[in-house]
C-alpha cells in the first residue's frame, strides 16, 4: 500500500520540516507551507474543517496515486479552533488504529514540525454523498438501502476496533470515484473499548440534528453545573447507532426529523409522545418496512437501542436490492449514477420563495444552551483566511472542451498526470507544481463557441435545470464509470449569459430577499478585463434547523471565441475571425465551508429560482 511506502520515506528523514521567521497568526495570512514535504501538493483547498484545510498531493517521484493531505496550523487550531494538541494527536492515533476498510477513509501517514501537522489519507474522488441527494426529496429506496448498508459496514468495523466516531453526519460521508461510501473526519472519535474494558464519555460533540439525546442531556447537566454525583455519561458506540438512524431517515426523505432531540423541539416531543409513531408528515414518507428499523436505532433508551446484529437481521436491511449482486456489490455503477443524477432537479418555474425570518446572528444562536455547549467542539473559524484558498474545479465538459474527462494531460515536468474532473481549469494548459498554483486572476480562458455549446448540452450541472427530468442520453452513452455521470465536483452551480455586473446584482438581490446578510463584494471585483475571477460573496447565515451555514459564492468567466483560432470561418453568412470574442459565459459556484450539505443545496435552490432570468439554459 502507498501508506507503507510513504511511511518508509518519512522514517528516513531526520528533519521532516523546516520553517523560518516568527510565528504570526492573522485572519488573512498564515505561515507558508513547508518546502520539503515528502510529497507534492497539486491543488488549492478542496475542503476544510473547523481548523484545517485539505489539499491534493502526489508522491515526489511519481504521478500517482493522488491522495488527500489535511494541513493543520497547530497554534491557529488551538487559538481559533479551540482544540488542544492532545486532541489533534488523538485524531491521528485513532484514525491510524482503525486500519483499512472499503467504507472508511484510509489513513496513510502523518508528520509535524513546530508549526504544522499534516495527515496524508485516501482521497475521496467522488466528493460528498449528500451533495448528490435532492433536499426534501431524498434517494430512491434501493439507493438509500445500498448506502445505508455501506454506512453500517463502515461504522461496525470501527466499533470492532473499539473506536466510535461521535460525529456521524452528511458532512463526513464521502464517495469514492466509483460511488462507494467513505466515512471521514475522526476529529471527534474516541476509544470506547480497549482489551475488553469499556469507557463512557461525557464530551459534548456532534451536530444537533444528528446527535443522540443522551449527549445533550450530559451537556445540559454540565451547563447547569450539576453535582458530580448527579452527572451522567453516555456510551459512544450507542450514540453512533442513533446517528446512523438519523442519516437513514435523511437518505429516504431528504430532511432531518428534527432540529435537535430536546423536549423543547416539537417534532422530537411528538416522536417521544407517540413512541416513535410520529404524525409528522416527514415520517409518513418513510417506507413502512423501514419504520421499525428507525425506531429500533433511535430508541430513546440507549441500552435498548438496536445492536449491529439486530440491524443486519431486520427485514428492511435484508430486503432484495436489484442494484446489488449476491456479494453485495453494485451491479451497474453507471445505472446507479444515472438514477442519482435524475433525482436532482430545480424547477425554475416555481413560485418565488417567501422571505423566511431574518437570519439569526451567531450571538443569538449561541444564546441557546445547546448551541453554546456545541461551540466547544464545533468551533466557528474565521472564513476570510488565506489558508482556505479554494480550488477551482472545472466542469468536466466545459473546462476541457476538447479534452475528455479521462484524457491524460502532460505535466510541465518529466511526469504525466491523468487529470480528472477536479482539475482546475487553468491547469488544462499549465499543470501545477508546488510553486505554481494557479491564481484566481489568471489570464483569459478562451473556449471555442461551438465547443462550449456542445459541452453545456452534456454538462451534468445543466440537467438539474432541465424542464424534463432525466439524464442527457449522451452522458449515459459515453459513460464508462460512475463519475462520468455524477461528477466529483459540487452541483451547486449554474452558468449565466448576462453581463457580470447585472449577475452580481441579481445575486445580491436574491440574498436580500432571503434575508441573508448582504456581504460586501471582495476588493478584487472585476467586471471587465482579462481576469477570470469576477467576485467572491461571503455567506454567513443559519439554515432552517438554526445551524450555522457558511460558504462562498464565486463568479468566474469563460471567454467564448469563434472557432479554434486556426482560420477564419463563416457564422450566420459572415466571415469572422476565429479569435473574435462573443459575450462572456459566467459560472456561479456555491462552495460550502461549513454546514449541512442538504441545507446548502436548499439555499442554492432558493437563490437559483430568484436568479432564474440569469441562468443559462440550452435554449439560450
Q: Specify the CATH number for the domain of residue 161.
A: 1.10.510.10
Active site (annotated) includes residue 413: no
The answer to whether residue 349 sits within a structural domain is no
Residue 111 is predicted with a pLDDT of 92
Q: For residue 466, what pLDDT is reported?
A: 84
In terms of domains, do 478 and 552 share one?
yes
Residue 367 forms part of a structural domain: no
Q: How many CA atoms lie within 13 A of 170 on its CB side?
A: 29
Residues 421 and 439 in one domain: yes
pLDDT at 29 over 50: no
Beta pairing, strands 409-410 & 569-571: unpaired
C-alpha span between 493 and 607 (Å, rounded)? 11
SS3 85: helix
Whether residue 555 is contained in a domain is answered as yes
In a domain, 345, yes or no: no
Q: How many domains does the chain divide into?
A: 3
Strands, DSSP E only, in 16-168? 39-41, 47-48, 53-59, 67-73, 107-112, 116-121, 127-128, 163-164
> Is position 70 annotated in a ligand binding site?
yes
Same domain, 113 and 167: no
For the record, the C-alpha cell of 336 comes out as: 446507479
pLDDT for the residue numbered 384: 40
> What pLDDT was estimated at residue 319?
97
Query: Do 558 and 504 reside in the same domain of the chain?
Result: yes
Q: Which of 82, 104, 121 is the last residue of a domain?
A: 121
Taking alpha carbons only, the member of 528, 551, 537, 530 closest to residue 601 is 551
Instruction: Name the one residue in this structure whose C-alpha cell is 425554475.
Output: 348
* Structural domain boundaries enclosing 264: 127-331
Identify the pLDDT of residue 583: 66
Residue 611 has φ and ψ, to the nearest 5°, of -105, 20
Same domain? For 480 and 602 the reply is yes
Say whether 462 sits in a helix, a strand or coil.
Answer: helix
Among 92, 121, 150, the domain-final residue is 121
Pick the last residue of a domain from 331, 362, 397: 331
pLDDT digits over 380-427, tens only? 444 344 445 656 555 555 544 432 223 333 333 323 223 233 333 332
Domain presence at residue 361: no
In a domain, 103, yes or no: yes
CATH code where residue 510 lies: 3.30.310.80
| Residue 337 within any structural domain of the chain | no
Q: Is the pLDDT of residue 260 over 50?
A: yes
Same domain membership, residue 187 and residue 131: yes
CA 312 to chain centre: 28
Residues 6 and 99 in one domain: yes
Write down the catalytic residue from 31, 128, 131, 167. 167
Alpha carbon distance 193, 162 (integer Å): 5
Average pLDDT score, the chain? 79
Same domain, 316 and 265: yes
Assigned C-alpha cell, 216: 445533550
* Average pLDDT value for residue range 513-520: 84
574: pLDDT strictly greater than 80: no
Pair 501, 574 in one domain: yes
* 182 inside domain: yes
Same domain membership, residue 231 and residue 158: yes
Residues 183 and 103 in one domain: no
CATH code, 78: 3.30.200.20
User: Are residues 590 and 443 located together in one domain of the fold?
Assistant: yes
Amino acid at each position: 500500500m502507498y501508506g507503507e511506502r510513504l511511511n518508509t520515506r518519512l522514517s528516513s528523514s531526520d528533519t521532516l520540516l523546516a520553517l523560518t521567521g516568527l510565528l504570526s497568526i492573522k485572519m488573512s495570512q498564515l505561515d507558508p507551507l513547508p518546502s520539503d514535504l515528502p510529497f507534492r501538493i497539486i491543488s488549492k483547498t478542496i475542503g476544510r474543517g473547523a481548523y484545517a484545510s485539505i489539499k491534493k498531493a502526489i508522491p515526489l517521484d511519481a504521478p500517482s496515486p493522488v491522495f488527500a493531505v489535511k494541513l493543520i496550523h497547530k497554534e491557529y487550531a488551538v487559538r481559533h479552533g479551540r482544540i488542544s494538541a492532545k486532541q489533534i494527536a488523538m485524531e491521528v492515533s485513532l484514525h491510524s488504529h482503525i486500519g483499512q476498510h472499503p467504507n472508511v477513509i484510509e489513513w496513510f501517514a502523518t508528520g509535524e514540525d513546530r508549526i504544522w501537522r499534516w495527515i496524508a489519507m485516501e482521497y475521496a474522488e467522488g466528493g460528498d454523498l449528500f451533495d448528490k441527494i435532492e433536499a426534501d426529496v431524498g434517494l430512491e429506496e434501493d439507493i438509500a438501502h445500498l448506502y445505508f448498508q455501506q454506512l453500517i459496514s463502515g461504522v461496525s468495523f470501527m466499533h470492532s476496533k473499539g473506536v466510535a466516531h461521535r460525529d456521524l453526519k452528511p458532512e463526513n460521508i464521502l464517495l469514492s470515484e466509483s460511488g462507494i461510501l467513505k466515512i471521514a473526519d475522526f476529529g471527534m472519535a474516541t476509544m470506547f473499548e480497549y482489551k475488553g474494558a469499556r469507557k463512557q464519555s461525557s464530551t459534548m460533540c456532534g451536530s444537533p440534528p444528528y446527535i443522540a439525546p443522551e449527549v445533550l442531556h450530559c451537556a445540559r447537566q454540565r451547563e447547569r453545573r450539576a453535582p458530580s454525583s448527579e452527572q451522567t455519561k453516555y456510551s459512544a458506540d450507542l450514540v453512533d447507532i442513533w446517528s446512523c438512524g438519523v442519516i437513514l431517515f435523511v437518505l429516504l426523505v431528504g430532511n432531518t426529523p428534527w432540529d435537535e432531540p430536546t423536549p423543547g423541539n416539537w417534532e422530537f416531543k411528538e416522536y417521544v409522545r407517540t413512541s416513535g409513531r410520529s404524525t409528522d408528515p416527514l415520517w409518513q414518507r418513510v417506507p413502512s418496512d423501514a419504520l421499525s428499523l428507525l425506531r429500533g436505532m433511535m430508541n430513546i433508551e440507549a441500552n435498548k437501542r438496536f445492536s449491529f446484529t439486530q440491524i443486519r437481521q431486520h427485514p428492511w436491511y435484508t430486503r432484495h436490492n436489484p442494484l446489488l449482486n449476491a456479494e453485495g456489490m453494485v451491479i451497474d455503477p453507471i445505472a446507479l449514477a444515472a438514477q442519482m443524477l435524475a433525482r436532482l432537479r430545480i424547477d425554475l418555474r416555481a413560485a418565488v420563495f417567501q422571505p423566511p425570518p431574518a437570519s439569526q446572528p451567531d450571538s443569538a444562536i449561541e444564546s441557546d444552551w445547546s448551541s453554546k455547549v456545541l461551540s466547544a467542539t464545533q468551533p466557528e473559524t474565521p472564513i476570510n483566511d488565506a489558508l482556505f484558498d479554494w480550488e477551482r474545479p472545472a466542469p468536466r465538459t466545459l473546462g476541457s472542451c476538447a479534452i475528455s474527462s479521462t484524457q491524460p494531460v502532460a505535466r510541465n515536468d518529466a511526469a504525466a498526470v491523468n487529470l480528472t474532473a477536479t482539475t482546475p481549469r487553468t491547469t488544462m494548459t499549465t499543470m501545477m507544481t508546488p510553486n505554481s498554483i494557479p491564481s484566481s486572476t489568471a489570464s483569459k480562458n478562451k473556449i471555442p463557441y461551438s465547443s462550449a455549446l456542445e459541452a453545456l448540452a452534456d454538462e451534468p450541472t445543466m440537467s438539474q435545470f432541465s424542464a424534463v427530468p432525466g439524464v442527457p442520453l449522451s452522458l449515459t452513452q459515453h459513460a464508462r464509470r460512475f463519475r462520468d455521470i455524477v461528477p466529483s465536483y459540487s452541483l451547486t452551480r449554474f452558468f449565466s449569459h448576462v453581463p457580470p455586473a447585472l449577475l452580481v446584482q441579481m445575486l445580491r438581490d436574491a440574498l436580500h430577499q432571503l434575508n441573508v446578510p448582504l456581504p460586501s463584494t471582495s476588493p478584487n471585483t472585476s467586471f471587465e478585463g482579462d481576469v477570470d475571477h469576477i467576485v467572491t460573496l461571503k455567506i454567513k447565515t443559519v439554515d432552517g434547523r438554526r445551524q450555522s451555514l457558511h460558504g462562498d459564492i464565486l463568479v468566474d468567466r469563460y471567454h467564448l471565441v469563434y472557432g479554434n483560432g486556426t482560420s477564419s470561418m463563416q457564422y450566420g453568412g459572415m466571415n469572422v475571425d476565429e479569435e473574435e470574442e462573443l459575450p462572456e459565459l459566467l459560472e456561479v459556484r456555491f462552495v460550502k465551508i461549513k454546514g449541512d450539505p442538504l441545507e446548502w443545496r436548499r439555499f442554492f435552490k432558493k437563490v437559483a429560482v430568484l436568479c432564474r432570468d440569469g441562468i443559462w439554459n440550452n435554449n439560450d
